[in-house]
Chain A
Amino acid sequence: MKEKLARGLNRMLDLMGYGEKWREWKRKRRAMFEEWELMYKALKRSPLAKAGAAMAVVFFILGIFGPQILALINGLYSLLYSQGIIKQKIVLDPYKIFAGPRLGKPSLLHPFGCDEYGRDLFARVLTGARVSLIVSVVVISLGIPPGILLGLVSGYYGGKVDEFIMRVTDVFLAFPALVLAMAIAASLGAGLKSAIIALTIVWWPSYVRLVRGQVLSARENVYVEAARAIGVSNLRIMVKHILPNIISPVIVLATLDFGTVVILNAALSFIGLGAQPPTPEWGRIVYDGLDYLMMAPWYSIIPGTAVFLTALGFNLLGDGLRDVLDPRIRRSIEFASGRE
Chain B
Amino acid sequence: MAELKYYLIRRVITFLPTVVGMLFLVFLVSHIVPGDPARLWAGPEKAVKPEVLEKIRRQYYLDKPWYVAFCYYMRDVFTGNWGKSPVTNRKIIDDIKTYFPATAELAIVSELLIIAVGVPFGIVSALKRDSIIDHVARVFSLIGTSLPIFLTAIFFQYVFYFKLRLVPLGGRGVKPEVVRTGLYILDSLLCGDWHALLENLKTIILPALALSMLGMGIVTRITRSSMLDALGSDFVDYAKMKGLPNRWVIYRHALKNALVPVVTVLGLQFGGLLSGAVITETVFARPGVGRYAVQAAYSLDYPAIIGVTLLIGLVYIFANLVVDILYAWIDPRVRL
| Chain A interfacial positions (CB closer than 8 Å to B) | 167-168, 170-172, 174-180, 182-184, 186-188, 190, 259, 263, 266-267, 270-273, 283, 286-287, 290, 293-294, 297, 300-301, 304-305, 307-308, 311-312, 315-316, 319
Contact = CB atoms under 8 A, between A and B. Distances in A.
Given A171-B25, A183-B309, A312-B143, A283 B150 contact: yes
Interface in B315-335: 316-317, 320
Which secondary structure dominates chain A's binding surface? helix
A179 B272 CA distance: 9
B22 A175 contact: yes
A312 B150 CA distance: 15
Residue in B25, B146, B293, B316 with the greatest tally of chain A CB atoms within 10 Å: B146
B21 A271 contact: no
Given A188-B34, A312-B142, A179 B154 contact: no
B305 interface: yes
Interface residues of B, number: 49
A175 B26 CA distance: 10
A297 B150 contact: no
B145 A180 contact: no
A286 B143 CA distance: 19
A178 B278 contact: yes
B154 A175 contact: no
A277 to B, nearest CB: 12
Interface of B: 17-18, 21-22, 24-26, 29-30, 33-34, 40, 142-143, 145-151, 154-155, 157-158, 162, 271-272, 274-276, 278-279, 282-283, 293-294, 297-298, 302, 305-306, 308-309, 312-313, 316-317, 320
Nearest to A266: B148
Given A171-B22, A187-B33, A272 B151 contact: no
Given A186-B40, A307-B148, A308-B148, 13 more contacts: A170-B18, A174-B313, A174-B320, A175-B25, A175-B271, A175-B313, A287-B150, A300-B154, A301-B151, A301-B154, A304-B155, A305-B151, A311-B148
Contact of B40 (A170, A187, A272, A293): A187
Contacts of A167: 17, 21
A180 to B, nearest CB: 7
B297 A190 contact: yes
A75 B145 CA distance: 39
A176 B297 contact: no
A103 to B, nearest CB: 15
Contacts of A183: 26, 29-30, 305-306, 309
Given A179-B309, A182-B305, A170 B142 contact: no
A174 B316 contact: yes
Contacts of A259: 146
Given A182-B278, A266-B148, A290-B154, A316 B142 contact: yes
Given A171-B22, A176-B274, A315 B283 contact: no
B306 A267 contact: no
B11 to A, nearest CB: 13
Nearest to A309: B146
Contacts of B155: 301, 304
Contacts of B22: 171, 174-175
Contacts of A266: 148, 150
15 contacts: A167-B17, A171-B24, A174-B320, A179-B312, A180-B25, A183-B30, A187-B33, A287-B150, A294-B162, A297-B158, A301-B151, A301-B155, A307-B148, A316-B142, A319-B142
Contacts of B145: 311, 315
Given A183-B26, A272-B297, A316-B142, A176 B316 contact: yes
Contact of A286 (B40, B154, B302, B308): B154
A150 to B, nearest CB: 16
B316 A175 contact: yes
A160 to B, nearest CB: 15
A293 B18 contact: no
B279 to A, nearest CB: 6
B164 to A, nearest CB: 13
